[in-house]
Amino acid sequence: MADKTKAEFLQQLKDDNTKIFDNVNGVRVEITGSEYDSRLDDKAEGMYNSQERAKIVTNGGQHADYENMRTEALVSN
């Protein structure tokens, strides 16, 4: 699988999720506007970061910040 940019992840999410809903006090409410954009942007950022982290771990740590990234992964779990 070829690497994707954050913009490609964002477009994929927009294509897959034309509507997003929340449950507010037992009522299903559609998320629109800037909240919709913000949620998808956050998700795309996470997907991109996961992809980049996986590449670093997979290639045996050939990265300047590999030690800190591994330590951070252990602390955040």
Cα 68 off chain centre by: 20
Cut 0.85: pTM above it:
no
Q: CA–CA distance from 15 to each of 12, 18, 27, 60, 75 (Å)?
A: 5, 6, 25, 34, 34
3-state SS assignment for residue 31: strand
pLDDT, tens only, 11-70: 999 999 999 999 999 999 999 999 999 999 999 999 998 988 888 777 765 666 666 766
E strands, the chain, in order? 20-24, 27-31
Rounded to an integer, the average pLDDT of 1-5 is 82
Residues 57 and 31: their CA atoms lie apart, in Å, by 36
